[in-house]
């Protein structure tokens, strides 16, 4: 028996709810009940996706029609799968035509009992879109690239005479060892579907989101601390009154002395967004600048600065390994999905809705898409590593 599905007690009820979802006759309370069942396990989510996929519905009906329906249905009744109010004459035609509810319930039994598993050919195997994980590459001063994902925990050998540790939880940290060395540049890069944390030589902590890179010196000099970012990162800057800390994103700079803030500077985003959680930062570009207070966010598009109050929990949710969308347009949602799940997004229709959802980033993509579909504003189809967006 699979977790989250009680056979035979739940089959008829779940079949009723799924049938109502397909027919669009489900009530709000029933929708909540169905959501609870879907969220109970990845197994339930997978079953729901298969039952409601447009391409699968016809195939499932044909498959059910291809088995010995009368005998199989009688066996299900004997096992208590359905409570009948009166005797019914069974035949294959009646079973296919009478009720989608009956077919779904029978399909649930066949799919998840030892004798009823539907065989799947190799060419029909669906590729699962996996969530991201701790993955990154460290480029040393001489150009050597170190794959941190495949590296054992411990000290990383390097020619730059600096002690670098790799831990077992996706973290890199630098340790001043008192040895003389050059001020060479290192670069930490995460791929699509990767994230990583680094503690810089001054004690500053930086979390790198997917498809991002941070360039920084192996040792900071005596006057300032300068790093260069592409993509997105969250900073907890170590306080040092004698050395300002600068984050450069192209020709935009964020100046800090010791504070917590997030910078989103992906090249596929329409603007660079800096959000302050603690302390104070000044954002500068060309002749313009803006000093932020905690809870504020500045969006820079071209030379235009726009300041607003921020939902800081939503901004830094990624750092806490969560998706948190608050009234977010579909393109904003799907750019995050594309980076984290390494999936190609295809817009078949123009979807204009705004969405709210909170979900752990370790969850399968199907669960997030289900929550978005529950709004009735959008539908999705997964084809291998592609997510197709429809109205």
Distance (Å, rounded) from C-alpha 99 to C-alpha 80? 18
DSSP character for 302? T
Phi-psi region at 23: left, alpha or beta (left = phi > 0; alpha = psi -120 to 50):
alpha
Residue 113 contacts by C-beta under 8 Å, 6 or more apart in sequence? 7
**Residue predicted with more confidence, 162 or 58:** 162
| In the predicted structure, residue 237 carries a pLDDT above the cut 70 | yes
Tokens for 201, please give them.
């030589």
Residue 185's Cα: distance from chain center in Å? Answer: 31
pLDDT tens digits, residue range 7-27?
A: 444 666 777 777 777 666 778
Confidence (pLDDT) at 177: 73
Distance (Å, rounded) from C-alpha 64 to C-alpha 118? 10
- Among 145, 224, 213, 146, CA closest to 183: 224
Predicted TM-score (pTM) of this structure: 0.74
Confidence (pLDDT) at 26: 76
3-state secondary structure of 95: helix
Residue 328's Cα: distance from chain center in Å? Answer: 15
Complete DSSP assignment for 97-141: HH-HHHHHHHHHHHHTSTTTPPP--GGGPPPP----EE--EEE-T
Confidence (pLDDT) at 284: 95
- Within 10 Å of residue 14's Cβ, how many Cβ atoms? 23
Distance (Å, rounded) from C-alpha 275 to C-alpha 296? 6
| In the predicted structure, residue 304 carries a pLDDT above the cut 80 | yes
Radius of gyration of the chain (CA): 27
Tokens for 346, please give them.
């295809």
**Residue predicted with more confidence, 110 or 36:** 36
**Residue predicted with more confidence, 216 or 119:** 216
| In the predicted structure, residue 81 carries a pLDDT above the cut 60 | no
| In the predicted structure, residue 112 carries a pLDDT above the cut 60 | no
- Among 377, 382, 391, CA closest to 344: 382
Which strand (E) or helix (H) includes residue 33? helix 28-39
- Among 135, 151, 139, CA closest to 191: 135
Q: Using the CB atoms, write b or e for 183-206: b if 16+ within 10 Å.
A: ebebbbbbbebbbbbbbbbbebbb
**Averaged pLDDT of the chain:** 80
| In the predicted structure, residue 251 carries a pLDDT above the cut 80 | yes
DSSP character for 391? -
Pick from 54-58, 195-199, 228-232, 332-336: least confident: 54-58
pLDDT tens digits, residue range 329-382?
A: 999 999 999 999 999 999 999 998 899 989 999 988 988 998 898 888 999 988
Domains present along the chain, CATH in parentheses: 11-124 (no CATH), 144-314 (2.60.120.1440), 321-390 (3.55.50.30)
pLDDT tens digits, residue range 120-174?
A: 443 333 456 889 999 999 999 999 999 998 888 999 988 888 899 999 888 999 9
Phi-psi region at 376: left, alpha or beta (left = phi > 0; alpha = psi -120 to 50):
left
pLDDT tens digits, residue range 187-211?
A: 999 999 999 999 999 999 999 999 9
- Name residue, tokens 């004698």: 242
Residue 67 contacts by C-beta under 8 Å, 6 or more apart in sequence? 110
């Amino acid at each position: 028996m699979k977790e989250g599905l009680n056979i035979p007690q739940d089959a008829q009820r779940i079949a009723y709810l799924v049938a109502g979802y397909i027919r669009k006759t489900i009530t709000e309370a029933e929708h909540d009940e169905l959501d609870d069942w879907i969220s109970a396990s990845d197994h339930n989510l997978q079953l729901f996706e298969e039952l409601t996929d447009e391409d699968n519905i016809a195939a499932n009906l044909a498959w059910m029609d291809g088995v010995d329906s009368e005998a199989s249905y009688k066996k299900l009744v004997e096992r208590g799968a359905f409570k009948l109010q009166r005797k019914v004459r069974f035949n294959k035609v009646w079973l296919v035509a009478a009720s989608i509810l009956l077919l779904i319930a029978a399909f649930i039994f066949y799919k998840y009992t030892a004798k009823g598993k539907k065989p799947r050919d190799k060419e029909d195997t669906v590729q699962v879109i996996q969530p991201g994980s701790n993955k990154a590459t460290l480029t040393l001063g001489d150009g050597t690239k170190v794959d941190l994902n495949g590296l054992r925990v411990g000290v990383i050998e390097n020619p730059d005479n600096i002690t670098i540790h790799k831990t077992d939880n996706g973290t890199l940290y630098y340790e001043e060892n008192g040895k003389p060395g050059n001020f060479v540049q290192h670069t930490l890069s995460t791929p699509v579907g990767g994230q990583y944390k680094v503690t810089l030589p001054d004690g500053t902590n930086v979390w790198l989101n997917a498809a991002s890179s941070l360039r920084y010196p192996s040792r900071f000099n005596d006057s300032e601390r300068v790093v260069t970012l592409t993509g997105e990162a969250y900073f907890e800057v170590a306080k040092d009154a004698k050395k300002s800390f600068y984050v450069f994103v192209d020709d935009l700079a964020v100046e800090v002395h010791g504070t917590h803030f997030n910078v989103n500077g992906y090249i596929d985003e329409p603007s660079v967004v800096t959000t302050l959680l603690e302390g104070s930062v000044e954002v500068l570009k060309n002749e313009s600048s803006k000093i932020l207070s905690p809870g504020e966010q500045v969006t820079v598009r071209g030379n235009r600065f726009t300041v607003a109050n921020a939902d800081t929990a939503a901004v830094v949710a990624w750092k806490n390994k969560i998706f948190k969308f608050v009234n977010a347009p579909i393109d904003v949602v799907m750019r995050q999905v594309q980076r984290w799940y390494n999936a190609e997004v295809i817009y078949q229709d123009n979807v204009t809705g705004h969405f709210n959802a909170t979900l752990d980033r370790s969850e399968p993509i199907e669960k997030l898409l289900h929550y978005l579909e529950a709004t009735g504003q959008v539908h999705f189809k997964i084809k291998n590593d592609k997510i197709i967006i429809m109205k």
